Amino acid sequence: MNAVDEQARRAELAESLAEVRARIDAACAAAGRAPDEVRLLAVTKTFPASDAALLSDLGMTDLAENRDQEAGPKADELAGLRPEAAVRWHMVGRLQRNKAKSVVRWADEVQSVDSPRLAEALAKAVHTAQERGERSGPLDVLIQASLDAPEEAGHRGGCPLPDVPQLADIIARSGEQLRLRGVMAVAPLGQDPEPAFARLAETHARVRRDHPDATELSAGMSGDLEQAVAHGSSCVRVGTALLGGRRLASP
């Protein structure tokens, strides 16, 4: 990017970041919560590493992606552009078990664990990566819960809500490679997100009773972050409202 374009893009991102932070602050105020209770994840999917670099310059420390093939190279590129930046990468998209090895090389946290088999594959991949010196420390994981109607679940991934506590127990018992941090979900398409977020919050509370460290409730995106904050979200994942419209839907 040339210097003039970069300057313009930086100003644009600074403005949208301020707007999103103001929305989060207002939602927290309305819910009687402190603004520092809600973390902002910038979802950089389909946008270049240069945008991730500018967001990092603007103080963003948490970046998220939904496809391994796109995220790995982007994380490498950002490390080249901003070697000093303290950025944490989050995987928020549907994940096949055969991608576990690749994901643990770039992701600090995987928010989309939705089955015991995927958890097992990730634990194994972390172990191998540690042995090879490719990573240190455990992988933070969230359980992705499905808020879709049963007939639509499966398309978008996610563990059925009633099965979440059991999956939490399995992950907690799986050894030291995975650290259960909480629960994540995407609101159902074309419906009022409020009842779905309320059900999610109930399930999260239940998981937290047995696993006190699973404090994260990752819910809310560009279109519904206010409703998610009202229902206790501790982590909103925002793409469009920060970076603009995506030209290509990320599959």
Q: Rule CB under 6 A: which residues touch ligand PLP?
A: 43, 45, 66, 92-93, 186, 221-223, 237-241
Q: Which is nearer to ligand PLP, 203 or 218 (CB)?
A: 218
Name the residue nearer to ligand PLP (CB basis): 174 or 222. 222
- Number of other CB atoms surrounding residue 246 within 10 Å: 13
- Structure-token pair, residue 172: 């907690």
Q: How far is the CB of 105 from ligand PLP (least distance, A)?
A: 20
CA distances from residue 141 to 24, 34, 177 in whole angstroms, order as listed? 24, 25, 10
State in angstroms the smallest separation of the CB of 16 from ligand PLP.
11
**Shortest Å distance, C-beta 212 to ligand PLP:** 25
219: closest CA among 208, 205, 230? 230
Question: From the CB of 20, what's the least distance to ligand PLP, in Å?
Answer: 9
Nearer to ligand PLP, 175 or 223 (CB): 223
Q: Which residue lies nearer to ligand PLP by CB, 66 or 203? A: 66
- Count CA within 13 A, CB hemisphere, residue 153: 14
In sequence order, the β-bridge partners of residue 183 are 143, 217
Give the H/E segment covering residue 29.
helix 3-31
Q: For residues 139 and 113, is the Cβ–Cβ distance under 8 A? A: no
CB of 94 to ligand PLP, least distance (A): 9
Find, among 243, 249, 248, the residue nearest to 60 by Cα.
243
Nearest residue (CB) to ligand PLP, 4 versus 248: 248
Q: State how far the Cα of 84 lies from the Cα of 26, in Å rounded to an integer.
A: 32
Give the residue at shortest CB distance from ligand PLP.
Answer: 239
